[in-house]
Amino acid sequence: MKQAIGLIPLLFALTIFVGCNHDHDFPSSPAGHIAASENLIIPGAVAVPVNSPNGNTRVITFYAKGLQLYKAKKVEGSDPAIFEWSFVAPKADLYDYSNKKVGNHGAGPFWTISPADSIFAQAFTPARTAPASETGSIDWLLLMPKDGKTPTGIFADVDYIQRIATKGGKAPAQAPANANSTTEVPYEAIYRFTKKNP
């Protein structure tokens, strides 16, 4: 009887382990990241405006995984020259709720999932940013469509672009060695695209 009772905790633990594996490591999948992001508390600085009385509608959400690119820049007035990291561009793949790679994110910044579906963004004035919750991670942002660049396809009616749930991507603490230094810092993020309701 004692042996049977001792097996119960072991069987329970094995059930949890098998269940997690059966779930295909859900928390680390793109779909898992997107689902988890729905439970985040969004700081007011990067929250989508309420837009009363009709509110907003989420158009689409992507998980991004890639790099933040930086290059050396001389600190103004330094003599001898001292260099700091200057942001160049993002370079990331976009994934949807089905864990499928569907598009790209790059310099502009832009997001595209086909030749007919793309959007460019720009910052608000003043910029809408909030510190990331993880050390070494780039800020959360609220952006808007870029002036002079009409969003197309699925992005046609988008009014707001949020970058949240960032992990990594911040420039190294160590200064560049020289004027030709470049670096690529891995990062992950969730991008939300939202439109105002008419």
- pLDDT, tens digit (0-9, with 9 covering 90-100), for 36-80: 999 999 999 999 999 999 999 999 999 999 999 999 999 999 888
pTM value is 0.85
Question: What's the whole-number average pLDDT of the chain?
Answer: 89
The size of the chain, in residues, is 198
- Listed by start position, the domains of the chain span 30-196
The pLDDT value given to residue 27: 57
Low-confidence ranges of the chain (pLDDT < 70): 1-27
Cα–Cα distance for residue pair 164/184, rounded to 1 Å? 20
How far is it, in rounded angstroms, from Cα 85 to Cα 75?
A: 9
For 179, list phi and psi in degrees, rounded to 5: -65, -20
Q: Answer whether 141's CB lies under 8 Å from 162's CB.
A: yes
Please give the structure tokens belonging to residue 182.
């470049």
Give the pLDDT confidence score for residue 192 in this predicted structure. 98
Determine the pLDDT at residue 149. 96
pLDDT of residue 1: 44
